[in-house]
Amino acid sequence: MPARLPELIEACFARLQEDMVRYLRAVAGADVAEDVASQVWVEVVARTAEFQGDEAALRRLIFATARRRALDQHRRWWRRKVSLHPPGDGVLERAASEDPAVVERDRALVWIARLPRAQAEVVLLRVLGDFSTEEVAEMTGRSPGAVRVLQHRALRRLASELRRHRGQV
Amino acid sequence: MGKPRLDMTTADRILAGTVDPADAPPGFEAVVALIGSARAPHAPTIMPASGRAPAPRPRRRQFMLAAPPFRSRLTIAAAAATLVLASGTAYATGLPAAASATARGVLHSLGVSTGSPAKTHSQPAATHGATVSSTARTTTATGAAKGAQIAALASNGRSRAGQGGGDSATAKSGADAKGSGHGHGAEISALAHATTGTAGAKGATISATASNGRSHAGQHGHNGHHGGSNGSAPAAGSHGGASSGHGSGSGHGGS
């Protein structure tokens, strides 16, 4: 298994990097998402020596690491005594994409990111990470039942929000 | 219209991407469409060959490769290079062994060799200068031969003093050698005998003369580190002798 790890990491990077950055934009802030993603990959590479498992396990490790780094980023931000810019959505700092599919996707993720934090996290891990309920439960330290309740509430809230802002989607 | 109803199982299936917007529960069509948009694959960077219909786009993420392999290889290579650099720096600056061991472990797992963990001196730096000084006083050799002997000892055998520029059989006398730019060792030998200083002062005097003033022997801040003087001291290849000025630390030429 260790002999295949570089190839495995390479494949995971190609597949997950963009979605992981999207996830981090939503939970950690757009202005730090790229930096946190870099930290995630460095940490993942550093932990490959002790890693045992298949590609699915590596994907779980990567997103779990991303989630931890995002939480660290939040704690760090709250510890700061002076903050000129809250870690919001730095839309103006991002290069505009001309791909309609990408634009539509980012717009959908903005709607999800507006959900309460726990609900947004669960939905993003399910949608972007393609994890099952049980996997999300394991990664977030919740029970599968709690995750189901969160995602149920998230979808109902989304439906309510979309009805209120009909025509914006 | 009443409040839309959604059961847990359907919510789970919506998030799994297995519910079509047309089959969505009443009131959740927009949500299913939005979740579908959020899961949408990236635009492919390589288009299928013309003349054939493109293959249907799979729903599951594991087939949605978008980034070109070169980019990922570049990133992995950059990460490996960073780790090599960091490991080398940690090794050179003497970071805690645990940090270096971690970096080595990572690189080893990536198939990158980091070399031996530590260099060893053939002799402790603290006593090296005393040995050289003692040899300079007690050796029975004379002239260039004496210089070559001391230079070889001071440089741990790396000095080429007495070679190339003239072997001991054909070496000129000290005065002649000085006049022609060779035979520097004889001068150093005479200095070693004549200098009245003791311990570090004597070593520093001899070392400074041997290196034409480039040696820092006896000065603070070097503490026996080996690397500082190797670049500045002459190899004594053309001087025909002398102790090469190798001892820049407190150990070399220190006593």
Give me the pLDDT at residue B70, please: 56
Task: Look at chain B and report how many structural domains it folds into.
Answer: 2
Does a structural domain hold residue B132?
A: yes
For residue A92, being part of any structural domain is answered with: no
- Non-local CB neighbours of A22 within 8 Å, separated by 6+ positions: A33, A106, A109, A124, A128
| Token pair 């503490």 in the structure block, residue | B223
Interface confidence, given as ipTM, is 0.71
Has residue A156 got a pLDDT over 90?
Answer: yes
Q: Is A18 inside a domain boundary?
A: yes
> Which one is predicted more confidently, B114 or A5?
A5
Last residue of a domain, one of A32, A51, A84: A84
Query: Do A127 and A79 have their domain in common?
Result: no
Q: What's the predicted TM-score (pTM) here?
A: 0.43
Whether B239 is in a domain gets the answer no
Choose between A139 and A168: higher pLDDT.
Answer: A139
CB B59 within 8 A of CB B17: yes
Portion 35-74 of A in contact with B at CB < 8 A? 41-42, 45-46, 48-49
Structural domain contains residue B68: no
One domain for residues A80 and A103: no
Residue A143: predicted pLDDT: 95
pLDDT reported for residue A115: 93
User: Is residue A91 in some structural domain?
Assistant: no
Q: How far is CA B162 from the centre of its chain?
A: 33
pLDDT of residue B96: 42
Q: Please say whether the beta carbons of B11 and A152 come within 8 A.
A: yes
Given B28, B61, B68, which is nearest A130 (Cβ)?
Answer: B61
Asked if A79 and A118 sit in the same domain, the reply is: no
Are residues A66 and A42 located together in one domain of the fold?
yes
**How far is the C-alpha of B12 from the C-alpha of A59, rounded, in Å?**
20
Q: Where are the alpha helices (DSSP H) in B57-142?
A: 69-93, 97-109, 125-138
For residue B34, the enclosing domain spans 8-39
Q: Is the pLDDT of residue A159 over 90?
A: yes
Distance CA B86, CA B78 (A): 12
Which among A52-66, A70-84, A92-106, B29-43 has the top mean pLDDT? A52-66
Q: Is the dihedral of CA B158, B164, B165, B169 positive or negative?
A: positive
What's the total number of domains in chain A? 2
The answer as to whether A93 is a domain residue is no
Tell whether B57 is covered by a domain.
Answer: no
Q: How many CB atoms lie within 10 A of CB A86?
A: 8
Last residue of some domain: A31, A60, A84?
Answer: A84
Domain end among A34, A56, A84: A84
> Residue A112's pLDDT is what?
93
- A15 and A69, same domain (yes or no): yes
Instruction: Give A-chain residues touching B72 at CB under 8 angstroms.
Output: 10-11, 13-14, 17
Does residue B117 lie within any of the structural domains? no
The reply to whether B96 falls in a domain is no
Across the interface, of A46, A155, A166, the residue whose CB is closest to B31 is A155
CB contact (8 A) between residue A45 and residue B79: yes
Question: What's the CATH code of the domain at A3?
Answer: 1.10.1740
Residue B52 forms part of a structural domain: no
How many other C-beta atoms lie within 10 A of the C-beta of residue A2? 15
Q: Residue B193's pLDDT is what? A: 77
**How far apart are alpha carbons B232 and B227 in whole angstroms?**
10
Q: Is the pLDDT of residue A136 over 60?
A: yes
The backbone torsions φ and ψ at residue A157, rounded to the nearest 5 degrees and listed phi first, read -65, -40
Whether A71 and A8 map to the same domain: the answer is yes
User: Domain holding A105: CATH number?
Assistant: 1.10.10.10
Domain membership flag for residue A89 = no
| One domain for residues A166 and A124 | yes
Residues B255 and B244: their CA atoms lie apart, in Å, by 16
Same domain (yes/no): A11, A78? yes
Q: Which residues of chain B have pLDDT under 50?
A: 42-54, 62-68, 87-104, 106-107, 112-123, 165-181, 221-255
Based on the domain organization, do A123 and A47 belong to the same domain?
no
Q: Which of B14, B22, B29, B37 is nearest to A122 (CA)?
A: B14
Q: Quick check: B109 and A2 CB within 8 A? A: yes
Give the closest-approach CA distance of A74 to chain B in angstroms: 24
Instruction: Return the higher-pLDDT residue of B247 and A107.
Output: A107
Residues A46 and A1 in one domain: yes
Q: Where in the sequence is the domain holding A139, given as residue range(s)?
A: 98-169
Determine what percent of chain A is predicted with pLDDT higher than 70. Answer: 83
Which one, of A5, A128, A88, lies nearest residue B105 by Cα? A5
Name which residue leads in pLDDT, A32 or B160.
A32
Judgement on whether residues A73 and A5 belong to the same structural domain of the protein: yes
Does the beta carbon of A108 lie under 8 angstroms from any beta carbon of chain B?
yes
DSSP annotation of B220: T
CA distance B47 to B54: 8
* Residue B22: C-alpha distances to residues A109, A123, A126, B35, B153 (Å): 21, 21, 21, 13, 89
Domain presence at residue B33: yes
Does residue A90 belong to any structural domain of this protein? no
